[in-house]
Amino acid sequence: VVGACDVVNPSANTAKGSPIYGMPILEVEKSKNVIVCNLDEKPGYSGVENTLYSMKNVITIWGNASVTVPTITEACR
């Protein structure tokens, strides 16, 4: 997942009264393993903390994607 916040935030299913509650999301948390590349861990436009970032099956890589994605690509070679 590159640069995504609210669209992959599992809190959309549970954070009643929040701007994202009930919003359709990509349920990436159901994947066996997830790598999230995002600028930082700050909440998106909704202001709701993304619980995906603290799940056991998730690796987070913070920083600008123009640097982090090529680094990951090179490591996979």
Q: Which residues are annotated as catalytic?
A: 6
- How far apart are alpha carbons 17 and 67 in whole angstroms? 36
- How far apart are alpha carbons 75 and 4 in whole angstroms? 22
Query: From its phi and psi, is residue 74 left (phi > 0), alpha (psi between -120 and 50) or beta?
Result: alpha
